[in-house]
Amino acid sequence: MQFNINALAIDFMGQRRVAAWFSGLALGLCLLAILIRGFNFGLDFTGGTLLELGYQEPVELSAVRATLESEGFAGATLQYFGSRTDVLVRLPLKGLDSGDAKLSDRAFAALNHAADGRLELRRVEFVGPQVGVELREQGGLAVLFSLIGILIYVALRFEWRFAVGAVAALVHDVLFTIGIFALFQIQFDLTVLAAVLAVIGYSLNDTIVIFDRIRENFRRMRKGTVLAVVNTSINQTLSRTLITAGTTLLVLMALYTLGGEAISGFALALMIGIVVGTYSSVYIASAITIALGLSRKDLLPVKKEGAELDPLP
């Protein structure tokens, strides 16, 4: 016996008010986290020096931090980079001489001396404070312009109520994703920003599929109410939504667990965004479209008087 998920008749829109309360509380918590706790910006946005080090034997981060502090490098951030022999050291600009081009050399010399000369310097990166501020501003503008472009596209492709619903869902997804990073103080860098932009594209794709089916069903279900048409459309696209989201999440879980520290933030942001984006396509985008007064006449072409008559030869 084969189970056909498209045959389900779940009343999604019947729960839209409960979902609205849930989303409002969740977004309120995320906004408070952003305003009160702020973001744990990575080196890309704050500026500083990054060193990737390779030890011959496993090392404790506390010992590495103690060595740096003894040499005057206070406030350094350390983390393993794939294994306990690979260490990433981030030296912030605050409290350090940002104009010293030999900063990385002095830090490496101190750590190499503590490791008896058996330390390998694999990579050095330096981001100035001005570059970090510009990256932060340009990243915010990239998100803003993408939302404006989507608003215009959906309004032209469908109808303005669909455009407002789609953009509201995308804003919901972005705020929720970055709010989780602010709430738990997970490092926010350029890879996470790239994931946020990818979430916008993914969520919009799912929303457009549902909207397209709604428009199609308005023409097929002549006697159906707006709620019935929307519920039917969501149920008909449910299998596609779950399969797409599920297979994508499997890949991202593999990246998060096996991809190492460099890509973990990217994978985590995408996992959060895909789950929230799937939810918002149903309960935010579609519900707001209904709340704005979507009706059959908004999507069906209006016949001109006399259009059914044959034209004169």
What integer pLDDT is reported at residue 305 of this predicted model?
Answer: 47
Cβ atoms of 146 and 194 closer than 8 Å? no
Calpha distance 233→221 (Å, rounded): 11
Identify the residue whose tokens are 């097929």.
Answer: 220
What integer pLDDT is reported at residue 72 of this predicted model?
Answer: 82
Domain range list for the chain: 11-40+131-298, 48-127
Closest CA to 229 of 237, 240, 220, 238: 220
What integer pLDDT is reported at residue 3 of this predicted model?
Answer: 45
What integer pLDDT is reported at residue 131 of this predicted model?
Answer: 62
Over its length of 313 residues, how does the chain's per-residue pLDDT go in tens digits? 344 555 567 888 888 899 999 999 999 999 999 999 988 887 777 777 888 888 988 888 888 888 888 888 877 778 887 778 888 888 877 544 444 557 788 888 888 888 888 888 888 887 766 666 777 788 788 888 888 888 888 888 878 888 889 899 999 999 999 999 999 988 888 889 889 988 888 888 888 899 889 888 888 887 778 888 899 999 999 988 899 999 999 999 999 988 777 788 899 999 999 999 999 998 999 999 988 887 777 666 555 444 444 444 4
Cβ atoms of 288 and 148 closer than 8 Å? no
Closest CA to 215 of 262, 158, 175, 140: 158
List all residues 6 or more positions away from 171 whose beta carbon is below 8 Å from its beta carbon: 147
Closest CA to 110 of 99, 122, 119, 101: 119
Type and span of the H or E element at 162? helix 160-183
Strand-strand pairing, 40-41 and 187-188 = parallel
What integer pLDDT is reported at residue 8 of this predicted model?
Answer: 66
What integer pLDDT is reported at residue 94 of this predicted model?
Answer: 56
State whether CATH 3.40.50.150 applies to domain 48-127: no
**Fold: same for 11-40+131-298 and 48-127:** no
Give the C-alpha distances (Å, rounded to integers) separating 68 from 19, 94, 108, 129, 307: 50, 15, 9, 22, 82
Domain 11-40+131-298, what fold? Multidrug efflux transporter AcrB transmembrane fold (1.20.1640)
What integer pLDDT is reported at residue 254 of this predicted model?
Answer: 92
Closest CA to 171 of 196, 154, 208, 153: 196
List all residues 6 or more positions away from 250 whose beta carbon is below 8 Å from its beta carbon: none
| Cα–Cα–Cα angle for 51, 60, 111, rounded to 5 degrees | 40
